[in-house]
Structure 1
Amino acid sequence: MAAGATVHTFDITLADVDRSVYEDLSLRAARHPSETGLFLVTRVLAYCLEHEEGITFSEGISTAEEPAVLVRDLTGAITAWIEIGQPEAERLHRGSRLADRTAVYTQHDPAKVLARWDGKKIHERERILLHSFDPGFVEAAAALVERRNALTVSVTERHLYLELNGTSLDSAIHTVALG
């Protein structure tokens, strides 16, 4: 954990009907001083929406070698490379070469994020998915985050229903392939 990081705890009830994933999770997320609340919320949502055995937060902002969220198999090999925000094309290229699956979750305008990668070399870009949420959704959720959080995440037909510390929010999950 980076010096000066603030630890946020999320007690999560996850019900992802689309993927048949039902879990109760206790997640600790260290928020680096340079990390925005929007980035933190997007990182936690990506963790929930990608949840599977072997998922973990990386050192994130503290290292350029790994994405914010990754999945490793039992041998330690990276099987999913999950970026947050608007990563550089070089990071996506590297992640796509190292992992079976690469995804980006963004709190930004997806059209602007996609434009950053136009004409850039990205390995198997057609396999990379960019996920985003309705305008204002991440901002509203970030305003509700405290040090200790109760979070219910429900997904059905690519629609996200979120209850965070007693407040309900919802958003479509928008997905486009880079290719």
Structure 2
Amino acid sequence: MALKPTIYKTTLNLIDMNRDIYVTEKLMLVLHPSETDVRMMVRLLAYALNYDQDLAFSKGLSATDEPDLWVKRPDGSVSCWIEVGQASPERIRKGVSRADQVKLYAYGSEVDVWWAKHCDALTGLPKTEVYSFPAVQVDRLSELCGRNMELTITLSEDQLYVTAGEQQLEIDLTRLA
């Protein structure tokens, strides 16, 4: 019997001081059976960093031809393709061929090794931005994760402040390329 995805109902209060965006969104995050809580929460950080009223979560890990998040125009073209994790250069090239802009948010304890291996290939890609989050900071996101979440994410410069109730985490964003 196959495991089913888990639904996380989320109220996101977004304060983006970089772009003067102040919104509250009701979201349904879907955790794929093979996905970790941390990865799902990093997808939420990517959503906050790229908020647009047309930004949407895709089908996720089960759809290999779609990114984690994207902005699709009414005509079906893609203006922004967003990946989370340590994607291969081939995967990012697929985004470059289909979208106006591609962003990758890498995280995890092996980001330095992954980046050393793929730096040249990813740095040379047009219209592509690569960022990373420190593993020690994003690993704590699972502490805030719950089936019904109310989170406030405040963005200021290259800092993200994630608050749930009395808990607050500070997460650094580093641009790699």
TM-score using structure 2 length: 0.90
- For residues 67 and 149 of structure 1, the distance between their equivalents in structure 2, rounded to whole angstroms, comes to 24
- For residues 120 and 158 of structure 2, the distance between their equivalents in structure 1, rounded to whole angstroms, comes to 29
Q: Is the alpha carbon distance of 1:124 and 1:99 closer, same or farther for their aligned partners in structure 2, counting shifts above 3 Å?
A: farther
User: What is the match of residue 156 of structure 2?
Assistant: 156
User: What is the match of residue 9 of structure 1?
Assistant: 9
- For residues 143 and 151 of structure 1, the distance between their equivalents in structure 2, rounded to whole angstroms, comes to 12
User: What is the match of residue 139 of structure 2?
Assistant: 139
CA shift digits 1:22-73 (9 cap, x unpaired) = 1101111110110011211111110111111211011110111001111112
Decide whether the 8 Å contact of 1:97 with 1:123 is kept in 2. no
User: What is the match of residue 114 of structure 1?
Assistant: 115
Q: How does 1:76-91 map to 2 (within 5 A)?
A: 76-91=76-91
Decide whether the 8 Å contact of 1:93 with 1:123 is kept in 2. no
RMSD: 2.0
Q: Aligned AA for 2:114?
A: V
SS at 2:27 equivalent: strand
User: What is the match of residue 42 of structure 2?
Assistant: 42
- For residues 127 and 112 of structure 2, the distance between their equivalents in structure 1, rounded to whole angstroms, comes to 18
Decide whether the 8 Å contact of 1:14 with 1:153 is kept in 2. yes
Q: Quote the sequence identity (%).
A: 28
Return 5+ residue gaps in structure 2 as ranges. Answer: none
User: What is the match of residue 103 of structure 2?
Assistant: 103
Q: Is the alpha carbon distance of 1:112 and 1:13 closer, same or farther for their aligned partners in structure 2, counting shifts above 3 Å?
A: same
Bigger shift: residues 133-142 or 149-158: 133-142
Return 5+ residue gaps in structure 1 as ranges. Answer: none
The count of corresponding residues between Structure 1 and Structure 2 is 175
User: What is the match of residue 63 of structure 1?
Assistant: 63
Runs ≥4 residues deviating over 6 A: none
Q: Is the alpha carbon distance of 1:123 and 1:71 closer, same or farther for their aligned partners in structure 2, counting shifts above 3 Å?
A: farther
Q: Is the alpha carbon distance of 1:28 and 1:126 closer, same or farther for their aligned partners in structure 2, counting shifts above 3 Å?
A: same
Bigger shift: residues 158-167 or 42-51: 158-167
Q: Is the alpha carbon distance of 1:165 and 1:113 closer, same or farther for their aligned partners in structure 2, counting shifts above 3 Å?
A: farther
- For residues 63 and 135 of structure 2, the distance between their equivalents in structure 1, rounded to whole angstroms, comes to 29
